[in-house]
Amino acid sequence: MKVVEINDVFKTYHDTEVEVKAVNGVTLSFEKGDFAVIVGPSGSGKTTLLNLIGGLDQPTAGEIIVAGHRLSELKPSELIDFRMEHVGFVFQSYNLIPVLTASENVGFIMSLQKWPKEKRMARTGELLEAVGLSDRHSSRPAQLSGGQQQRVAVARALAPRPQFILADEPTANLDTKSAETLLDIMEKLNRGEEMTFIFSTHDARVVKRARRVITLEDGKVVSDERTNHTS
Amino acid sequence: MITSIAWKNVWRNRTRSLTVIAAVTVGVFAGVFAMAAINSSIVQRIDAAVNEELSHIQVNNPGFRGSSDIANVIAEPEKVVSVLEETPGVTHITERIIVRGIASTSAGSAGVEITGIDVEKEQQMFTLKERLIPGTGSYFGTDTRLNSAFIGEKLAKELYIIRYILTEESFTALEAEDVPAAVVEKLRPLENQRFTAEKKLSEACSGLLTEKEGKLYGMRIKEAAWSYREGSKVILTFLDANGTQTGAAFRISGIFRTNNDFFEAFSVFVPHDELLRLTGMEEGQYHRIIARLEDDDLTDKASASVKEALPGLEVMSWKQIQTDLAMIADYVNQIYGIFMVLILAALAFGIVNTMLMAVLERTRELGMLSAIGMNRRRVFSMIMLESIFLSIVGGFAGMAVSAIVIAITNHTGINLVKYSEGLEAFGYSAHLYPTIGADFFIMLTVMIVITGIVAAIYPARKALQLNPVEALRGE
């Protein structure tokens, strides 16, 4: 089942007098349960493509359909609701809310969606356990290591059961052990919850685990390979 | 959740938030306390006007106030009393005879208004008896062969009934009042000298004391030297009902001290029966009938009702008699509002600055919140709530400090005796007892919340203008 369809998408920026084609005619699709990475050198358009898929940015041309929604047809306010309902984000710098505990951060989107408290608490507990932080419910982000914060961020992204997770350089700030732990957790969740993960990364540790590797250069897909990794 | 995050965000940068909260606290306290002090001055003046001088409603013959002609008595006073008795809220009624005349002693004279009062009824309606200066009499209580009169201190001074003598007792009293022994010693050459006026005593003291000592201890020296010989007499002269000049000697049965120099200088109270006999007026004739109400708030309604029932007479509330006072009371209420708006507007700039810094510091976080699905309304509400919390915490702290300081100073009073001459010339007390109504605090709470909302608009709009992609990139 296709979760994301990208049809001949362009994204052009006008930087003073120079026109920059960050995404240049990309056509791709992602299936439910994909564990895919987008790789490429800096400036190849990885993050821009991720932003377009996540509805954070609008393409200059082309069409993106996510979970049956044509993103170009959605108003800005509808795009925010779309992101809340269908997309989970994991950022390079974790981006947790510093005044909330780990548990509150994980439950944040669910509370925006007005989940009943009991259901929210149960889901939060389940996810914190899944990311190995069941003993850190009450810890604030500042009390957690980088790896632990990123695990909380993954739990937050997964909490409202989105269609897929977009992870932009999720391991860039982590040491090897933390990165491996995080990737183990994501792979487990990918299999256990059949959650689709789409990464943008430079990190070979992530590429090594991926079952699909899409390479971008100058905004174009130069290769799209499925691997035999079974983890 | 948004409320909880907003509250927690307030305390992310404690120093900055506490600085703004402290500024709001000080601003609100300064505004509230200043207004409580001003308010007390007005409230005390109104209380004095109603309780000592005017009461709530006065009924006169229409021509009496303009001419003060003794012949302008109230027609059918029984009907007036009956109407007043039936008016809701009226608790006490008294009748007065009033004549204009001259008060004189061997040393001085002054034009006065002589009021014949029913002593019993007046004691129930007015609190002037409480203003009796101890040692000057007993408010019509002493049996005497002569008629008795209750006069103001200012008049007593003009008639030179009050003298200033520094006796051994005065020196002891001064030392008890913390006047240094060296200063008291300097005053010894004036012992037992009699001064007929404050000014003469001051001149004599200025030759012995330094300017600083004079300023510091002048009032206490005057108080200690204040002297009155009990049983002093005053001659009251006026025209009787036939237009013939008449008069009599009156024994002073007490001297009252109020904050209203004009009232003190112009008012002489004598028993109704004595004045009736001396003027040759008929029993049951009155120039003025006065009513007291159970609540000042009933004044306008009751006054209008009496006026309607007595079309041929002049019916006036204290607000109509003392129009300046009523106007000042209204004016001060408006000044309260303007004053607080100005203070809160100044504080709003501080809050705007703080909130703007908070938004700019949290650009990335706000971008993330928008990315993960926090809509514009929620972002706007969160910033608004943070600003409101800052305002409310500071505002409530300011109100709490104000309430405590007002309660203390209301008990102890604020002594402005240095300015007493100027204040009392206009009827205002030199001792302020700050007070302010609970309704003012309610109004202030609303204003503080509005300040928080207004102060948040610009920072919140800034937050809404953030593009999530740029905000997330802009770390």
Q: What does the pLDDT average to over A189-193?
A: 83
Listed by start position, the domains of chain B span 2-48+325-473, 62-160+230-312, 162-228
**Do the strands A35-39 and A212-217 form a parallel or antiparallel pair, or are they unpaired?**
parallel
Q: Are A95 and B12 a contacting pair at CB < 8 A?
A: no
Q: What is the pLDDT of residues A82-93, one digit of tens each?
A: 999 899 998 888
Give CA–CA dist B212/B228, Å, rounded.
28
Of B371, B376, B475, nearest to A83 by CB-CB distance is B371
Q: Which residues contact B414 (CB under 8 A, 6 or more apart)?
A: B37, B431, B432, B433, B434
Q: Are A91 and B368 a contacting pair at CB < 8 A?
A: yes
User: What single-letter DSSP state applies at residue B408?
Assistant: H
Residues in a beta bridge with A37: A199, A213
- A88 found inside a domain: yes
Across all residues in chain B, what is the average pLDDT? 88
Q: Given this model, what pLDDT does residue B474 score? A: 62
- A64 found inside a domain: yes
Residues in chain B: 475
- A90 found inside a domain: yes
What residues of A are in contact with residue B375 (Cβ under 8 Å)?
A: 77, 80-81, 84
Q: Given this model, what pLDDT does residue B475 score? A: 47
Of A57, A85, A99, nearest to B5 by CB-CB distance is A99
B465 inside 8 A of chain A by CB: no
Q: Are A97 and B365 a contacting pair at CB < 8 A?
A: yes
Of B5, B364, B373, nearest to A83 by CB-CB distance is B373
Per mean pLDDT, which range of A169-173, A188-192, B416-420 is the poorest?
B416-420
Give CA–CA dist B342/B449, Å, rounded.
15
Q: What is the pLDDT of residues B209-235, one digit of tens each?
A: 888 888 888 888 988 898 887 778 999
Q: E strand or H helix at B292, and its extent?
A: strand B288-293
User: How far is the alpha carbon of A207 from chain B, nearest alpha carbon, in Å?
Assistant: 23
Give CA–CA dist B432/B418, Å, rounded.
13
Give CA–CA dist B296/B85, Å, rounded.
17
Residue B272 contacts residue B98 (beta carbons within 8 Å)? no
Query: In the structure, what pLDDT confidence band is assigned to residue A175 with cuts at 50, 70 and 90?
Result: confident
User: What single-letter DSSP state applies at residue B194?
Assistant: E
What residues of A are in contact with residue B1 (Cβ under 8 Å)?
A: 104, 108, 111-112
How many domains does chain A contain in total? 1
ipTM exceeding 0.90, yes/no: no
B451 inside 8 A of chain A by CB: no
Q: What is the pLDDT of residues B73-121, one digit of tens each?
A: 998 999 999 999 999 999 999 999 999 999 999 888 999 999 999 999 9
Residue of B368, B372, B466, B469 for testing the chain A interface, max A β-carbons within 10 Å: B372
Q: E strand or H helix at A83, and its extent?
A: helix A76-86
Q: What does the pLDDT average to over B413-436?
A: 74
**Chain B residue with Cα closest to A88:** B372
Q: What does the pLDDT average to over B54-61?
A: 94
Q: What is the pLDDT of residues A20-37, one digit of tens each?
A: 888 999 999 999 889 999
Give CA–CA dist B380/B391, Å, rounded.
17
Does residue A230 surpass a pLDDT of 60?
Answer: no
- A99 found inside a domain: yes
Of B371, B460, B395, B364, the closest CA to residue B6 belongs to B460
Phi, psi of B458 (to 5 degrees): -65, -50
Of A56, A84, A100, nearest to B5 by CB-CB distance is A100
Q: What does the pLDDT average to over A202-226?
A: 90
Residues in chain A: 231
Does residue B181 surpass a pLDDT of 80?
Answer: yes
B364 inside 8 A of chain A by CB: yes
Domain of residue A123 covers: 2-226
Residue B333 contacts residue B74 (beta carbons within 8 Å)? no
Q: What is the pLDDT of residues B292-325, one digit of tens each?
A: 999 988 999 999 999 999 998 999 999 898 888 8
* Percentage of chain A lying above the pLDDT 90 cut: 42
Q: Given this model, what pLDDT does residue B104 score? A: 95
User: How far is the alpha carbon of A149 from chain B, nearest alpha carbon, in Å?
Assistant: 15
Q: What is the pLDDT of residues B258-300, one digit of tens each?
A: 888 889 999 999 999 999 999 999 999 999 999 999 998 899 9
Residue B388 contacts residue B456 (beta carbons within 8 Å)? yes
Q: Which residues contact B191 (CB under 8 A, 6 or more apart)?
A: B166, B167, B168, B171
Across all residues in chain A, what is the average pLDDT? 88
Give CA–CA dist B146/A226, Å, rounded.
125
Give CA–CA dist A17/A173, Å, rounded.
34
Residue A196, domain CATH? 3.40.50.300
* CA–CA distances in Å: residue B91 to residues A44, B115, B302, B315: 92, 22, 12, 17
β-sheet with A18-31: strand ranges across: A18-31, A2-15, A61-66, A69-70
Q: Which residue has the tokens 């100058």?
A: A218
Q: Given this model, what pLDDT does residue B142 score? A: 62
Query: In the structure, what pLDDT confidence band is assigned to residue B144 with cuts at 50, 70 and 90?
Result: low
Q: What does the pLDDT average to over B232-253?
A: 92
What residues of A are in contact with residue B368 (Cβ under 8 Å)?
A: 89, 91, 95
* Percentage of chain B lying above the pLDDT 90 cut: 43
**Packed helices B211-225 and B168-176: angle between N→C axes, nearest 10 degrees:** 120
Does residue B141 surpass a pLDDT of 80?
Answer: no
Phi, psi of B408 (to 5 degrees): -65, -50
- A231 found inside a domain: no
